[in-house]
Structure 1
Amino acid sequence: MADDLGDEWWTQGDNLGVSEVEEDTQPLTEEQPIKSTSKKRKSDKQIQEEDTQPLTEEQSNKSTSKKRKGEKNIQDGTKKKKKTAKKECFITEERSEEKGDKESNKNKKRRKKKKTITDVLTSSEPVPGSPADLMSLLKNHFSLTRSVIEQEDLTLKDSCFLSSNDLTHSLSSYLKEVCPKWAKIQKQHTQAQSVVLLIVCGSALRTIDLIKQLIAFKGQAKVLKLFAKHIKVDDQIKSLSKGVTHIAVGTPGRIAALLEKEGLTVQGLRYLVLDWNYRDQKFRRMVDIPEVKEDLLKMMDRGLIQSCREGTFKIGLF
């Protein structure tokens, strides 16, 4: 076989291997890179065309449905947040309403507990005053400002009091009972700036009413009204100093002012009558009105308690 192929067989084989290797190692020609770049450009163009190509109906529907789902999820989340916020607001409102109801109920209970003087007096039957009532009033007032020894000077014995009204007497009938020798006593009274009978009441209108009730009792006695309404203290001092006055009817505030200024004295005083049981339109007694009660205690502290302890006059509760 070698002879048939000849000697050129070996040389051809070498040439063939060299040529194949050379072909593999040879650099690309100008045509080859152009072809590769064109392929790249084609691929870029295809990508751009795919990007720029309009979406199909299915793709657009899918994208819009996705967007709508996202929007619905956002809306559902906001709605849930709003619902929770409304629930929280409703709960807070209910709690605040409950608190307000509780506070209003507490206030109503407090208001129910607080009863006025008129409620107490209308619900209870009137009870006539007694010397013990006046003594308890004096002790309760002066116990806060005076020592135990000083409080003993305020105590009044039973002999210092006249018989009290049992709610059956008028003023004239009561005075006739406690002052049986009135005609003789009034003739013996000759001192100025003093009275024999001093009647203390709660208001100016009550003063005028009591003076009218004295007609059946007073006889020839001179009566003077002592209250602050439209009458000055100096004018009352002048009228007391001019002549003899047998009976004076007035309010505790004005009487205390006259005793302080010495326009009225207790030298000729024989009877001190307190309008204790009378009730006004609101069913209040004289001692149930705070201002009048304070004036009454001031009046009693202007030497009346001491003079009564000495036995110069007696106290009656009408």
Structure 2
Amino acid sequence: MSDSEYGAGVPLIEPMPGSPADGKRKRDEEEPKQSKRAKRRKNKQPKDVHDEDLDEAAGLNRSVGRMDSRLLADYMAQRTKRFEPDLSFVELEDRYVPENSICDTSSWDGERTLDQLPAFIEKFAQGDLTKAPKSNGAPHTIVVAASGIRAADVTRHLLTGSRGLRKFEQKGTKVAKLFAKHIKLKEAIESCTRLKMNFGVGTPQRISDLVGDGALSTSNLKRIIIDASHIDVKKRGIMDMKETQVPLAQLLGREELKSRFGQPGGIEVVFY
């Protein structure tokens, strides 16, 4: 029987399973897949972040503190492209946080730890931060953290500062907990509608849900502070995990907020 009866270029004998030839064929098939995985691992780290910037002992990504407004805007955009690769150009534009809306905090020379957060806020925010707007559920400052546990830690430090003294919560004002841990959405909505708050602290998805419901008003909002330098035991920050970066980008892309970015008297985005 001639080769033509089998079709041109088709081998007459397939490699035996487990044979050297069969092993080589499998390696040849797997090599492109391994190359793609290696490329993805290589591209996982943002261009402006190096391993030596990730201080596991301190729980800090030190590169965030060195980034100016432009680099932070690019950092956020890069992470959005990575975690939402199917977004169209228009959708990516909707997620983009403009450079002129981001506060340049690269001049801060202190550690970006929780005990330094109150001093950091006082340096880059204007006005009396202990006062709350007259309307219920309408804070002047929102702090966004990666998890409920982290948000609880942030809340404690905003309440007491580094010396155990009462800090931003005074009589008639409230540093409100807007995170999901042990607090159901219905309870959070009821809490927002009856509290005069100066600060609201929560996770990206919960804050977005409260804004979407109307329980959390953005009418008096002056700044959104993102707890960006903090990393977990796997050296991941709020912008390095899909489950937190995507809702964060969606929150910042909400029309109630985005329409006031970069405007006089508008909303400023501050990366801590």
TM-score, scaled to structure 1:
0.59
Where does 1:1-318 land on structure 2 (aligned, <5 Å)? Answer: 93-103=19-29, 111-115=37-41, 117=44, 123-125=51-53, 126-128=62-64, 129-136=67-74, 137-138=76-77, 144-146=88-90, 155-157=98-100, 161=103, 163-164=105-106, 165=108, 168-169=111-112, 170-179=116-125, 181-182=127-128, 185-187=129-131, 189-214=133-158, 215-216=160-161, 217-220=167-170, 221-302=173-254, 303-310=256-263, 311-318=265-272
Distance 2:193 2:134 in 1: 12
Between Structure 1 and Structure 2, which shows a larger proportion of helix residues? 1
Contact 1:118-1:282 at 8 Å conserved across structures: no
**C-alpha deviation, 1:274, in angstroms:** 0.9
**Closer, same or farther in 2 for the Cα pair 1:201/1:106, shift >3 Å?**
same
Unmatched runs of 5 consecutive residues or more in structure 2: 1-13, 54-61, 162-166
1:199 CA drift (Å): 0.2
Size of the alignment, in residue pairs?
227
Question: Aligned in 2, Cα 1:135/1:122: closer, same or farther, shift over 3 Å?
Answer: closer
Distance 1:256 1:133, change over 3 A: farther
The whole-number CA distance in structure 1 between the counterparts of 2:17 and 2:121 is 73
Structure 1 distance, partners of 2:248, 2:259, is 15
Residue 249 of structure 1 aligns to a residue in which SS?
strand
Letter in 2 for 1:218: F
Measured after TM superposition, the shift of residue 282 of structure 1 is 0.9
Higher RCO (CA 8 Å, separation ≥ 6 residues): 2
Residues 114 and 307 (structure 1), Cα distance of their counterparts in 2 relative to 1, 3 Å cut: closer
Letter matched to residue 207 of structure 2 = I
3-state SS of paired residue (1:239): helix
Q: For the Cα contact (< 8 Å) 2:132–2:197, is it kept in 1?
A: no
> Cα RMSD over matched residues?
3.7
Q: 2:216 and 2:242 mapped to 1: Cα distance? A: 24
Structure 1: 5+ residue stretches without partners: 1-87
What are the superposed Cα offsets for residues 165-220 of structure 1, whole Å, 9 maximum, x if unpaired?
556242122112123643xx433622212112210111111101111222123242
CA distance in 1, matches of 2:28, 2:88: 39
CA contact (8 A) 1:204 1:250 kept: yes
1:244 corresponds to which letter in structure 2?
A: K
1:123-164 Cα offsets, whole Å, 9 max, x none, are: 34241243224433359669825289x76x964526x62535
